[in-house]
Structure 1
Amino acid sequence: MTRTKRTISALAIAISAGWAMPAAAQDDAAVAQELAQMRAQMAAMASRIDTLQAQLDAARAEAQAATTAAGAATASAAAATEAAKAEPATKIAWKGAPEIEGKDGWSFKPRGRLQYDVGFVNAPDSTGRPDGFGNEARRARLGVEGTMPGGFGYKFEVDVADSVEVTDAILTYKDGPATISIGQHNNFQSLEELTSSRFTSMIERAAFTDAFGFERRVGASVQYAKGPVLAQAGLFSDNIDALSNKNGGADGRIVFMPKSGSTQLHLGGSIHYADLQDGSTVRYRQRPLVHFTSQRFIDTGTLGASSETGYGLEAAVISGPLHAAAEQYWQHLNRPGALSDPTFSGGYAEVGYFLTGGDTRGYKGGTFDRVKPKNPVNKGGLGAVQVNLRYDWLDLVDAGIVGGKQAGYQASLIWTPTDYTRFLLNYGRMEYDNAIYPAAGGDRSYGVDAFGVRAQIDF
């Protein structure tokens, strides 16, 4: 019996006893009836109290369950918040343009560059060559690049400076130190050629790269980079704009790029072979430094060709503000039938120095890379200022073919105010021997001056 019931029973007994004394004078039936009524009322009160007690116990149990559930929900929400912090769904970084990184290896970044050139060329009047002022939008490129789940990547870019021209159209797969590339991309010829036009030390690359027709081609290649060693090899057809034809070739390059303290070293070699379809021709020629002139003072003319074989050597060093680089390349032409097979050559040697403290030339993956000023203009500094000197030679005379020789003496001043902007002044004096255009008296040995200025932005 509960404490409440005992209390009610005791009260009932007391009341009964209190009524017992006067009850003797009353009618026994009336007293009995009243007592019965009182007992019924007490029983009803006891039942009501039991019901209320049960309801109170149930409410307490429900409150405890709700408290437990709320605690579990709070813990779950906290865990979800921490997980979200540890693994954000999307990240956006700024690298000249927004680079968006999603889950599972997805990324996307727009890319592009604009280079505008202006200057002049001065040749001897007696050659009859038009010269003087020139200008052009040298490159106007726009594209995208990024990665996909599973180690895949992509890059697509077009140049609209003159017409719509596909420059890069690549699908890549990377697994550890190995990268496989399929599509239109650079084959493996020359440090100068593989260094982006955004980062060259002169307004144009060394003469031999253009004279020997280095360009992107459609093919498949593999690169292996581990420690100081980089090996590259690929099979290629022709530039995407020249397809379809039966031309095909193979390229290979190996680079040893150790660091000694803060000094970056570069030693490399490359080999190139192109098998040309029947009836093919080639032509090796070159402008005087700047691209906005159409005049070429050395030129082999059109030559029948069955194949080309090229060999290149590369060397470079970067030590603080100082850098030096040199290359030599030999292009051997196999001609059909009993025609003689010439070997032409070209190369350059250069040295550069930063006048602004703390700046150095960039280097990455076997090529020169972006200069990042220590004190850029957007942070109150001057940016990076660099001077460069180069000797650039090209020899297109061999096996009875007299295309001329060039000895170029070039100087450049480069101002890089921020990571993604660049201004370049370039002067060159090209001394020609056996030039294709005679000057007064039939003289084919003379000099041509060229001056160019470039404004550049990229992202």
Structure 2
Amino acid sequence: MSALAIAATIGWITPVEAQESEDTRAELAEMRAQIKAMAARIDSLETQLDMAKQRAATTTAVGNIAQSTPENAEPPDAIAWKGAPEVENNNGWTFKPRGRLQYDVGFTSVPAASGRVDGFGSELRRARLGVEGDIPGGFGYKMELDFAGGATEVTDAILSYQDKGLSVTVGQQNNFQGLEELTSSRFTSMMERAAFTDAFNFERRVGLALQYATGSILLQGGIFSDNYDDLSNKNWGLDGRAVILPKIGTTQLHLAGSLHYTALQELSTVRYRQRPLVHFTSDRFIDTGALDAESEIGYGLEAAAIHGPFHFASEGYWQHLTRPGALSDPTFFGGYTEIGMFLTPGDSRRYKKGVFDRAKPSSPVGNGGFGSVEVNLRYDYLDLTDAGIVGGTQNGYQLSLVWAPIDYVRFLLNYARLDYTDALHAIPGTSRDYSVDAIGARAQIDF
């Protein structure tokens, strides 16, 4: 081939090759774009696959749990707070610890010539710990011990059953002595209950009790032996109490009467006496001494009202003693009248099932409030003189101030002027008529 021909041929091929190279580059660029898009799609699919695997694993785990859990499995226990944790399960069982701590301090002032010791005193008044709760089927239980005074004492030990308005209780419990005695020491307006409740030996007893409530009527009754610590003996008794508790507008009323009979075993003696308000002194200024006895019959009347911050309460109790042979049968009497009011707005004394209940501060400390403050005045009378027995008479005038910063904490300040006639301890050269002053303070917590 001539040089001219070769040159012509090369000249023709070169443009063709240039064109083909441009087309190839375009195709390669398009292929690279497609490969990049495909890689992005693959990454997306892999991510979706991983998520799908995770969902599948979770579903499998849940399914395994559901298969391993019985259909009738109980849900977790519920826990409420009522001064202490109360645990309740789905079957109706409940369990709650309970208790109270009361520490008292104060002074008594007595005539020096009486020979009695006065001045400062203090004590751990109550230190109780127990449990309570419900049992399926309408049953319930309560057990409480008191560790104050260096000894352990059974206060409550009961099994109960309730069906609508009817309740049955068996065990160590309060019999139905009256409003003041049945109101818990956590909620009383004074540091100590009215003089007659202690003087006439009101205490818990082992027995069987029934209560029936319908509308504004409450009926209570039972048969009892003696206190747990005094068993076994042949003492037994019957108690009955009827309460009318209507609410008229915003006023809660309380009217009640009670009857009590106790048969005492042969050669029994009883003794009626009382301290000057505070419990930490062992001195008693009215005292019948030991009296031979066959039986006791008690009659009680009660009245109370709550209206807004004000309340009123009054009781009278007659204790008739039957003595053996030709001995005289005395009837002793005790009672009180009280008025009180809350000084803090929105607070009121509470009432429930025939007794005074917990008064909850409307503005407790911790929520920007001061708690509740109440003031109470009481006249407390006790006459232990009758049928030739001269045990003395008390006219007591009491004032109390109660501060409850929160629901379960109280502080009480109590003063009493106690005028005695025919007191037990004589002042040489004078009569047995004189006065004793007592002042006490209490710090209390319960749950």
State the TM-score bracket (shorter-chain normalisation).
0.7 to 0.9
Q: Is 1:161 matched up with 2:148? A: yes
Deviations 1:290-324 (A, max 9, x none): 00000000000000000000000000000010000
Which residue identity is paired with 1:172? Answer: S
CA distance in 1, matches of 2:438, 2:75: 54
Q: Which moved more, 1:222-231 or 1:449-458?
A: 222-231
Say whether residues 1:245 and 2:233 are aligned partners. Answer: yes
Q: How many residues align?
A: 386
Q: Say if 2:94 is the partner of 1:107.
A: yes
* Pairing 1:96–2:83 present: yes
Residue 196 of structure 2 corresponds to residue 208 of structure 1:
yes
Matches within 5 A, 1:23-62: none
Structure 2 unmatched ranges of 5 or more: 1-55
Match of 1:423 in 2: 411
Gaps of 5+ in 1: 1-66
Q: Deviations over 1:107-142 (max 9, x none)?
A: 000000000000010000010101110000000000
State TM-score, norm by structure 2.
Answer: 0.84
**Distance in 2 (alpha carbons) for counterparts of 1:240 and 1:180:** 19
Q: Which residue does the alignment assign to 1:259?
A: 247
Question: Match of 1:373, SS?
Answer: coil
Q: Give me the whole-angstrom Cα distance separating, in 1, the residues matched to 2:76 and 2:124.
A: 40
- 1:42-98 Cα offsets, whole Å, 9 max, x none, are xxxxxxxxxxxxxxxxxxxxxxxxx9xx9xx99x97xx9x999xx844110000000
Name the residue aligned to 1:125. Answer: 112
Taking a change above 3 Å as real, the CA distance of residues 226 and 88 of structure 1, as seen in their structure-2 partners, is farther
1:144 aligns with 2:152: no
Q: Secondary structure at the match of 2:148?
A: coil
Q: What secondary structure is seen at the aligned counterpart in 1 of 2:197?
A: helix
Residue of structure 2 equivalent to 1:42:
none
Q: Distance in 2 between matches of 1:103 and 1:188?
A: 34
Cα distance in 2 for partners of 1:443, 1:276 equals 36
Q: Secondary structure at the match of 1:126?
A: helix
Identity of aligned residues (%): 68
CA distance in 1, matches of 2:402, 2:428: 37
Compute the displacement of 1:380 (Å): 1.5
Quote the RMSD (CA, aligned, Å): 2.0
2:221 is the counterpart of 1:233? yes
**Is residue 355–residue 387 contact of structure 1 (8 Å, CA) maintained in 2?**
yes
1:351-362 to 2 correspondence within 5 Å? Answer: 351-362=339-350
Q: Secondary structure at the match of 1:210?
A: helix
What corresponds to 2:438 in structure 1?
450
Residue 35 of structure 2 is matched in structure 1 by none
1:288 matched to 2:276? The reply is yes
SS in 1 for 2:401: strand
Q: Determine which of 158, 175, 178 is the counterpart of 1:187.
A: 175
Q: CA deviation at 1:225?
A: 1.1
Partner of 1:64: none
Equivalent residues in 2 for 1:386-397, closer than 5 Å: 386-397=374-385
How far, CA to CA, are the matches of 1:279 and 1:127 in structure 2? Answer: 33
Return the index of the structure with the highest Cα Rg: 1
Q: Aligned residue for 1:221?
A: 209
Query: Which structure 1 residue ranges, 4+ long, deviate > 4 Å from structure 2?
Result: none
What is the distance in 2 between the residues matched to 1:294 and 1:448? 14
Cα-to-partner distance string for 1:251-286 (whole Å, 9 max, x where unaligned): 000100011122110000001000000000000000
SS at 1:245's partner residue?
A: coil
Deviations 1:306-351 (A, max 9, x none): 0000000000000010000000000000001110000000000000
Q: Deviations over 1:222-263 (max 9, x none)?
A: 000121111000000000000000000000001000111221
**2:122 — aligned with what?**
135
Partner of 1:317: 305
